[in-house]
Amino acid sequence: MWKHVNQSDGDSNYYSVLGLTGDGMEALRQLFPDGEANDMNFALFSTSGIHGTYCLIEAVEEDMQRDKREGPRDVTFVVIQPRIVCMRYGCAEPRTADDIAFLKKLRASSLRAVATIGVPSSAN
């Protein structure tokens, strides 16, 4: 599902950049089965770059609701795994309302997770 674009540690995923070779929704569901990110595994969406556009989840959702394709039906993403210094990138094409809900949940939990990195815990 992933191919090494750049790596410095043999065949492991440590210190690497991986490009998606399979289905983006399936890949994200494998990495985040419950749609919840944490400070060691989170996703950023609508990242564009050489692998897609800045298309928002909401734009794809509106397109689906109108049942009319007016723009891209995929959303770019970058999954960041800081502990192993790994980035994965690709495009996800949501096809159902459940896919849209999953992406929105993952985006929201990812933003919450990023906000906690390097910040003292309130439990301390």
Strands lying side by side in the sheet with 75-81 = 2-7, 16-20, 86-92, 75-81, 42-45
Q: Would you list the domain boundaries of the chain?
A: 40-73+102-115
Could you tell me which residues come within 8 angstroms of residue 66 by beta carbon, excluding any fewer than 6 positions away?
none
Per-residue pLDDT of the chain (124 residues; tens, 9 = 90+): 766 666 565 666 777 899 999 999 999 999 999 999 999 999 999 998 777 889 999 999 998 888 776 666 899 999 999 999 999 999 999 999 999 999 999 999 999 999 999 999 865 4
Written as six digits, the tokens of 114 are 């990023």
- Predicted TM-score (pTM) of the model is 0.86
Q: Say if residues 59 and 68 touch (Cβ distance below 8 Å).
A: no
Residue type present at position 30: Q
Q: Which residues of 82-108 are buried (b: 16+ CB within 10 A; e: fewer)?
A: eeeebbbbbbbebeeeebbebbbebbe
pLDDT at 106: 98
pLDDT at 90: 95
pLDDT at 33: 98
**DSSP for residue 84:** G
pLDDT at 108: 98
pLDDT at 82: 95
